[in-house]
Structure 1
Amino acid sequence: MGGFSGWHWIIVALVVVLVFGTKKLGNIGGDVASAIKSFRKGLQDDDSHPPSQLKADPEPVAKPATSDVKRDNVP
């Protein structure tokens, strides 16, 4: 009583096809497949470059704050 048998899965699949239709399910499958492909390509691109060759963005240099107030001890 705890698990699904083969007949249960067939009935679930038929209900899903009836609700969504075969065309929409095909589109969803294609979208998922292209997402997986681009994810794998991204992983391969990251692995192909050793960390020493990756260029990091330089940190922005903070500009000194200027004020209009004149100080007595500053020449």
Structure 2
Amino acid sequence: MVRKSLSVSISFPRWMDDKIAEQADKHGVNYSEYVREIIRDHHQTPFDRMDDPVVCRDENGEVTENVEGAA
């Protein structure tokens, strides 16, 4: 049987978690439904875009720019 969804764990600052929960409630949807919608419609997100997003941190939480893949 093929699963149609999966659970994903991500970290948010607490203020962002609060804002997501608040907006989900305001729009009458649950947390996951709201997150899916803002991902689908990212041009209308209530969050400011990052100028220089960090997409990689090492096991110590340090920002890295490794060009090599995993060992």
TM-score category (smaller protein): under 0.3
With CA pairs under 8 Å and 6+ residues apart, which has the higher RCO, 1 or 2? 2
Instruction: Give the TM-score of the pair, scaled to structure 2.
Output: 0.26
Instruction: Give the TM-score of the pair, scaled to structure 1.
Output: 0.25
Q: Which has the larger radius of gyration?
A: 1
